[in-house]
Each structure stands twice: as structure tokens, then as C-alpha cells.
Amino acid sequence: MAAETPAALNPAFAGLTKLGWNAERDAQFAPYLAQGLVPARIAVEDKHFYRVWTAEAELSAQITGKSMHEARSDHTKLPKVGDWVAVKLVPNEAKATIHAILPRRTLITRKTTGREITAQILATNIETVFLVTAADSTFNAARLERMLVMAHESGARPVVILNKIDLAENLEVKLAEAAKAAGEALVLAVCALTGRGVKKLAALIKPGDTVVFIGTSGVGKSSLINRLYGEDLQATVEVREQDAKGRHTTSWREMIFLPQGGVVIDTPGMREFHIWAAGEGSKETFPEIEALSLQCHFRDCTHTQEKDCAVLAALAAGTLPRDRHESFLKLQLEISYLREAEKQAGWQTRKKGNRVAHRVFNKRA
């Protein structure tokens, strides 16, 4: 018998495969099954209240007092949107308690704004991160680069979405800048207003996939998701509130199941992006600089003033654009600042958790 034959799925959980459940999850869940718990996925998170999806129903859920206590010293232990969890059903009520979180295959974090450096998990167990940016006057290639670093660290595939192309001046220039920032990541120009490019976007989401939309407020994340969904999403999801400008702004993270298959996570917009635990992400964002640096004389070359620096040589020869080098240096500065702040805040354990998630993902890929 072929060793590759996948383990048979527990038929009771077949309803979860469209949400990404698989034989690996089945195996992870075995000990909880023995305790009479049921698998579910976190669909909505609002403070300590959750909505979860089981194979049969959508339930409201809360974590146990014990988990709440444990999470006080490490809030990565709190369930996040996208998490697979083990829940105990409350008999005769559409309620459950969350007892455990299954290992996170990928997770996307950002540094929260404020004086303290803390990582906030935006979503977990995602295949693709759509980094949405608008092609209007708010377009900013440097911000896109920072978003890409964050996405590369998540373990998920990043795709750059340039929305609002109907409002773009010099679209070609912006597309070129986006492509340069994106490196090897795909760049898609779309318009949520007219639906242009949305078919191509939809084609990137396969049944069983989970994708997340990330980007600053107002770039059109929810509008694009509405397009992907069809017409009735606004009626289905009443988790929006109107801000002062009368605009619908997403107020919390939520999972949406697309009729054509695939799960989409909408996130509230953020004012700025910061890098959390950067490292590998920077290399992937600047692959040409990474390639050149292999030829630098010093292994720890900073590409600023060293002798026999291949990056500086490429810059002098004009084969490496000056603005790419500048973006790279700016990013390094930001990373070193964050590392220092991180060290002082004693966040090493959290970083370790992050790396484990990468490894699990890479092994699977």
C-alpha cells in the first residue's frame, strides 16, 4: 500500500473541509475527541466573545476561566479569527466554551500602535494575504514594502492588490512602483466599484483556502469582499458601524464563507504598518539586495560604507536603483529599532512561537 495514502477523515467533520479542515487537523484533534469536545473555527472575535463555526452550526462561544487566566501573561493564547479550536457544546443552547487551540499553521501579526511594543495577531491559518492599497493619491510604495515584510513573516503567500484604479493618475507609474516593491509577489490591479479585475482575484481563492485582506482604512477591503461574495453580503453581515463621514468601516475581524468556496477574513484598516520580528521578511522583500549581498566581502555587511560591498557597487554602476537601496536602509533602521525595543520589552518568547509556526508551514509546503 502506498505510504502517501492520506489518513481517512472523520466523516463527522466532513462539513469542515470546505473551511480548510483536513486529515492533519483530524490527527491533532484526536485527544480532544476522546474528551467529548467538538472541532470549530473562530469566525468572529470581539473582546472575549466569539462566534465559532462547527460542522453543523454557528455558535457563540467564550473561553474558560482557566484559559482567561493563562492569557493574562501571554495573550497569544487567546483564540484569534481563523483558529481551529476544541469546544464543549452547551446542551440545548447555541453556545459553546473554548477549551484548546490547535497549532497555528500560519499567523499574521502586526506591532500595535502605542508606547508599548506588543504583537497583535490579526488572523491565523491563512493561505494568502491580500495586501490592499489604493491607486489614488494615497498610494504609498514605502507602506506597501512594510506590509510585505509583515506578510512574508506570516508564512502565507502575499499578493498585492492595487484597488481604485478608476481614481488613479499615472496608473502605469504606480503599477511599476507596486511591482518593484512586491518583488516576487503577484500584483493585481482592480476596481471594486466596477468589478474590474475581481474575477482574477477570485481565481486566487480556492475552495478550502483561507485568505485575509489587510490594508489601511478606506482602501476598499470590504468593498472587494462584497464583490467576491456577490450582492447580499452587507445584508448578511451586520457588524459594521458608520463613522463620522457616514462610511461603513469594518469594526472587527470576521470570517466570511464565499458561496464559490473559500474563506475570507476582513480586517479593520490600520493607520500604519510596523514590522514585528522582522528578519526573513526583509530578505524576501528585497531579493535583489539579498542576492547581491552574497558577494559582499563582509558577511555582516550593512551595505552603507564597507569596502568591497556588492550592493554599493551595483548602486554606483546604476544596476540597483537608488530608491530601492534607500528603502532597504530605512527598513533596516526600523527593524533594528524594533529589535531593541522588543528586547527591552522581553518579547523573546513570543518570537519563538512565531518561528515554530513558520517551520510547521514550510514543512508542509
The x, y and z cell numbers of residue 266, run together, are 476582513
Distance CA(15)–CA(28), nearest Å, equals 17
CB of 324 to Zn ion, least distance (A): 14
CB of 308 to Zn ion, least distance (A): 8
Residue number with CB closer to Zn ion (150 or 296)? 296
Burial status of residue 363 (CB atoms within 10 A of its CB: 0-12, 13-18, 19 or more): exposed
Asked if residue 301 binds Zn ion (CB under 5 A), the reply is yes
Residue type present at position 213:
F
Burial status of residue 239 (CB atoms within 10 A of its CB: 0-12, 13-18, 19 or more): middle
CB under 5 to 8 A by kind: which of Mg ion, ligand GTP, Zn ion, none does 63 bind? Answer: none
The x, y and z cell numbers of residue 10, run together, are 472523520
DSSP H or E stretch at residue 92: none
The x, y and z cell numbers of residue 218, run together, are 478606506
Asked if residue 107 binds Zn ion (CB under 5 A), the reply is no
Asked if residue 314 binds Zn ion (CB under 5 A), the reply is no
Site residues for ligand GTP, 54-83, by CB under 6 A, read none
Residue number with CB closer to ligand GTP (126 or 131)? 131
Distance CA(223)–CA(131), nearest Å, equals 14
Site string for ligand GTP, 130-169 (x = CB under 6 A): ---------------------------------xx-xx--
Site residues for ligand GTP, 238-277, by CB under 6 A, read 247-250, 268-269
DSSP codes, 216-276: STTSSHHHHHHHHH-S-HHHH---EEE-TTS-EEE-S-EEEE-TTS-EEEE----S----S
The x, y and z cell numbers of residue 274, run together, are 510596523
Applying CB under 6 A, which part among 119-127, 178-186, 187-195, 334-342 lies near ligand GTP?
Answer: 187-195
| Coil, helix or strand at residue 166 | helix
CB of 223 to Mg ion, least distance (A): 8
Site string for Mg ion, 233-272 (x = CB under 5 A): -----------------x----------------------
- Contact 40/96 with Cβ under 8 angstroms? yes
The x, y and z cell numbers of residue 199, run together, are 474575477
Residue number with CB closer to Zn ion (42 or 292)? 292
Residue number with CB closer to Mg ion (222 or 285)? 222
Asked if residue 296 binds Zn ion (CB under 5 A), the reply is yes
Q: Which residues bind ligand GTP (CB under 6 A)?
A: 163-164, 166-167, 191-193, 215, 217-223, 247-250, 268-269
